[in-house]
Structure 1
Amino acid sequence: MKRQIPLLAVLIFSIIFFLINEYVLSGFHTLSTNPLITPLFWAIVLLSAGTLIYSIRNMQRLGMGMLFKITTHAFLILLVSELIFSLFLALGDTYRLISGNPRNLYWVSFALCMFLLTILVFVYGMVRGKYAYRVIKHTLFFDDLPKSFDGFTIVQISDVHAGSFNNSKALQKGIDLIKAQQADLFVFTGDLVNNKAEEIEPWIGHFSQVKAPFGQFSILGNHDYGDYVQWKDEHSKKENLEQLKRNHAALGYRLLLDEHVEIQKDGEKIILAGVENWGVGFGERGDLKKAMRNVCAEDFKVLLSHDPTHWEAQVKTDPVNVQLTLAGHTHGMQFGLEIFGIKWSPVKYRYAHWAGLKTENGRYLNINRGFGFLGFSGRVGIWPEITLIELKRK
Structure 2
Amino acid sequence: MARFPLMLLLFLVGDLYFYQAVSTLSQQPALHFAYWLFDILLIAAIISIIFLRRAGLHSERFIAVVIGAMMLNYIPKVFSSPVLLAEDIVRLFRGFPARSIYVSEVALAIAGALFVAILFGLTKGKHFYKVRKETIFFPDLPEAFDGFTITQLSDIHSGSFSDAGGVQKGLDLVDAQQSDLLLFTGDLVNNMASEMDPWIGGFNKLKAPYGKYSVLGNHDYGDYIRWESKEAQAANLARLKEVHGEMGFNLLLNEAVTIKKQGQSISLIGVENWGKGGFHKYGDLKRATANVPDNSFKVLMSHDPSHWDEVTVDHHQHVHLTLAGHTHGMQFGIELFGFKWSPIKYVYKQWAGLYEQQGKYLYVNRGFGFLGLKGRIGMWPEIAVLTLKKG
TM-score after normalising by structure 2: 0.94
Q: What is the identity, as a one-letter code, of the residue corresponding to 2:132? A: I
Residue equivalent to 1:27: 21
In 1, the alpha carbon distance for the partners of 2:58 and 2:202 equals 25
Is 1:143 the counterpart of 2:121? The answer is no
SS at match of 2:388: strand
CA change 1:25–1:253 in 2 (3 A) is same
Residue equivalent to 1:351: 348
Task: Indicate conservation of the 8 Å contact 1:161/1:372, yes or no.
Answer: yes
Q: What is the identity, as a one-letter code, of the residue corresponding to 2:318? A: N
Structure-to-structure mapping, 1:222-301, within 5 angstroms: 222-281=218-277, 282-301=279-298
Structure-to-structure mapping, 1:173-184, within 5 angstroms: 173-184=169-180
In 1, the alpha carbon distance for the partners of 2:314 and 2:117 equals 42
CA change 1:134–1:15 in 2 (3 A) is closer
Task: Indicate conservation of the 8 Å contact 1:52/1:75, yes or no.
Answer: no
In 1, the alpha carbon distance for the partners of 2:9 and 2:352 equals 31
CA change 1:20–1:68 in 2 (3 A) is same
Task: Indicate conservation of the 8 Å contact 2:306/2:350, yes or no.
Answer: no
CA change 1:63–1:253 in 2 (3 A) is farther
Residue equivalent to 1:377: 374
- Quote the offset at 1:57 in angstroms: 4.3
Task: Indicate conservation of the 8 Å contact 2:71/2:118, yes or no.
Answer: no
- Quote the offset at 1:146 in angstroms: 1.2
In 2, the alpha carbon distance for the partners of 1:385 and 1:11 equals 31
In 1, the alpha carbon distance for the partners of 2:18 and 2:165 equals 40
Out of 71, 78, 90, which is 1:76 matched to? 71
- Quote the offset at 1:359 in angstroms: 0.6
CA change 1:142–1:57 in 2 (3 A) is farther
In 2, the alpha carbon distance for the partners of 1:14 and 1:131 equals 29
Is 1:85 the counterpart of 2:80? The answer is yes
Q: What is the identity, as a one-letter code, of the residue corresponding to 1:268? A: Q
In 1, the alpha carbon distance for the partners of 2:50 and 2:261 equals 50
In 2, the alpha carbon distance for the partners of 1:363 and 1:138 equals 15
Out of 172, 181, 188, which is 1:185 matched to? 181
- Quote the offset at 1:85 in angstroms: 2.8
CA change 1:9–1:351 in 2 (3 A) is closer
SS at match of 1:236: helix
Q: Tell me whether 14-23 or 104-113 shows the greater mean CA deviation.
A: 14-23
Out of 163, 167, 181, which is 1:167 matched to? 163
- Quote the offset at 1:337 in angstroms: 1.1
Task: Indicate conservation of the 8 Å contact 1:59/1:229, yes or no.
Answer: no
In 1, the alpha carbon distance for the partners of 2:3 and 2:308 equals 28
In 2, the alpha carbon distance for the partners of 1:317 and 1:214 equals 29
CA change 1:262–1:53 in 2 (3 A) is farther
- Quote the offset at 1:15 in angstroms: 4.1
Is 1:52 the counterpart of 2:49? The answer is no
SS at match of 2:313: helix
In 2, the alpha carbon distance for the partners of 1:16 and 1:365 equals 33
- Quote the offset at 1:55 in angstroms: 2.5
Residue equivalent to 1:326: 323
- Quote the offset at 1:94 in angstroms: 2.6
SS at match of 1:321: coil
Residue equivalent to 1:3: none
SS at match of 2:259: strand
Provide the aligned length of Structure 1 versus Structure 2.
388
In 2, the alpha carbon distance for the partners of 1:137 and 1:345 equals 20
Q: What is the identity, as a one-letter code, of the residue corresponding to 2:46? A: L
CA change 1:16–1:344 in 2 (3 A) is closer
SS at match of 1:270: strand
Show CA shifts across 1:304-323 (max 9, x none): 00110000101112111100
TM-score after normalising by structure 1: 0.93
Residue equivalent to 1:97: 92
Task: Indicate conservation of the 8 Å contact 1:49/1:75, yes or no.
Answer: no
Out of 198, 210, 216, which is 1:214 matched to? 210
Out of 113, 116, 123, which is 1:120 matched to? 116
In 2, the alpha carbon distance for the partners of 1:87 and 1:203 equals 45
In 2, the alpha carbon distance for the partners of 1:142 and 1:11 equals 45
In 1, the alpha carbon distance for the partners of 2:153 and 2:53 equals 27
Show CA shifts across 1:63-94 (max 9, x none): 55321111111112212122123222223223
Task: Indicate conservation of the 8 Å contact 1:260/1:292, yes or no.
Answer: yes
Residue equivalent to 1:203: 199
* Alignment gaps of 5+ in structure 1: 1-5
Residue equivalent to 1:311: 308
Show CA shifts across 1:299-353 (max 9, x none): 0000000110000101112111100000011111111111123211111111222
Show CA shifts across 1:31-65 (max 9, x none): 22333445433321121122123224434844553
Residue equivalent to 2:12: 18
CA change 1:368–1:349 in 2 (3 A) is same
CA change 1:16–1:182 in 2 (3 A) is closer
